[in-house]
């Protein structure tokens, strides 16, 4: 175990609570992370805190201890709320701690749709049973339930629950519009929602509930992260996308996505090779070796023209494949498409 303690880890957590002085909490948090040599991202707001940090096992452990003894979180945060995975400080380029309006960017004022109006939390065991029931009903062509992935398309692409509905959205801030445009779909349904660590469901379920069309809204407590600890070979197949330099963590051997160029099974993301582009691309080693390393033909072309010809600064711009992406897809979901467990 000694060798193991040298290995670091990455923590993921959030806590909704009333923060009177976000600026003060932000300064304290920054000092704490610097003191423990942690890297990562922490968002502070008047509605709480949301963070993912990496460092040595000793440091992450001290971090948890300190967070649990902080009077602000004492009654709301518990050890269970910290999800951990193998990693370390090297998983993030730096430390970023800031004050924001929301601890997860949904783009809706927390005063209007509050985390306090959230759906019913299900433990991984309860969620597992619900999904099992949902899949068996769906296979008989019946059912009044929707299993909803409220992450982004590039996350669900490499791993998701069998039989889920995964919106083709690029940012969580598009989720409310997605709900608005597809209200018919949710009418009188029981909705089982899930995301990476549970935080997007807190506000997402509150938003869905505010529309008053669903029969019930449930969410997976602790997200896919906690589910995989209990059911590494359960109904979630493929990798779990994470927002750091690892891109994905793995709990089963399934590969459910394909190389963008040749279609061979592949699920390891790289950043598009074109300097101005921030898209992620699935391109297998074979295609990489052929120089196919960009997210779309336009970027591949630009890459070849080498962007240094300009002023030398990198420009962040949307490329062809982003522009073509419909911002909010309208679902034409027959019960059939849900059944196939696409």
Known catalytic residues? 195
Q: How far apart are CA 271 and CA 257, in angstroms?
A: 16
Q: How far apart are CA 273 and CA 260, in angstroms?
A: 14
Side by side, which strands form the sheet with 95-99?
Answer: 83-87, 8-16, 48-56, 39-45, 95-99
- Taking CA atoms, 83 is separated from 17, 47, 54, 195, 260, in Å, by 19, 20, 12, 13, 31
Among candidates 218, 235, 227, 211, which has minimal Cα distance to 145? Answer: 218
DSSP H/E element including 206: helix 199-210
Among candidates 314, 315, 244, which has minimal Cα distance to 96? Answer: 244
Q: Quick one: DSSP state of residue 82?
A: -
Among candidates 302, 84, 31, which has minimal Cα distance to 294? Answer: 302
């Amino acid at each position: 175990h000694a060798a193991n303690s040298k290995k670091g880890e990455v923590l993921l957590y959030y806590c909704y609570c009333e923060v009177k002085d976000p600026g003060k909490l932000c300064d304290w948090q920054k000092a704490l992370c610097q003191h423990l040599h942690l890297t990562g991202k922490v968002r502070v707001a008047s509605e709480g805190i949301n963070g993912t940090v990496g460092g040595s096992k000793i440091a992450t452990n001290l971090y948890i201890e300190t967070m649990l003894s902080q009077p602000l979180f004492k009654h709301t945060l518990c050890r269970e709320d910290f999800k951990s995975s193998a990693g370390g400080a090297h998983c993030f380029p730096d430390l970023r701690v800031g004050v924001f309006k929301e601890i997860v960017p949904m783009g809706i004022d927390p005063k209007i749709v509050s985390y306090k109006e959230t759906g019913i939390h299900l433990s991984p065991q309860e969620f597992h049973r619900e999904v099992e029931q949902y899949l068996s009903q769906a296979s008989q062509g019946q059912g009044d339930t929707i299993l909803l992935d409220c992450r982004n398309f590039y996350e669900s692409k490499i791993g998701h629950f069998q039989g889920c509905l995964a919106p083709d959205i690029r940012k969580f801030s598009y989720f409310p519009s997605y709900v608005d445009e597809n209200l018919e779909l949710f009418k009188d349904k029981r909705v089982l929602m899930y995301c990476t660590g549970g935080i997007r469901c807190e506000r997402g379920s509150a938003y869905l509930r505010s529309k008053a069309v669903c029969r019930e809204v449930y969410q997976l407590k602790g997200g896919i992260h906690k589910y995989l600890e209990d059911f590494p070979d359960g109904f979630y197949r493929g990798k779990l996308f994470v927002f750091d330099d690892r891109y994905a963590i793995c709990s089963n051997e399934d590969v459910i996505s394909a190389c963008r160029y040749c279609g061979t099974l592949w699920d390891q993301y790289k950043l598009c090779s074109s300097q101005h582009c921030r898209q992620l691309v699935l391109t297998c080693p074979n295609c990489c070796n052929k120089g196919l390393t960009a997210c779309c033909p336009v970027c591949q072309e630009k890459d070849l023209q080498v962007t240094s010809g300009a002023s030398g600064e990198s420009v962040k711009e949307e490329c062809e494949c982003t522009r073509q992406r419909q911002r909010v897809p309208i679902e034409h979901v027959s019960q059939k498409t849900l059944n196939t467990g696409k």
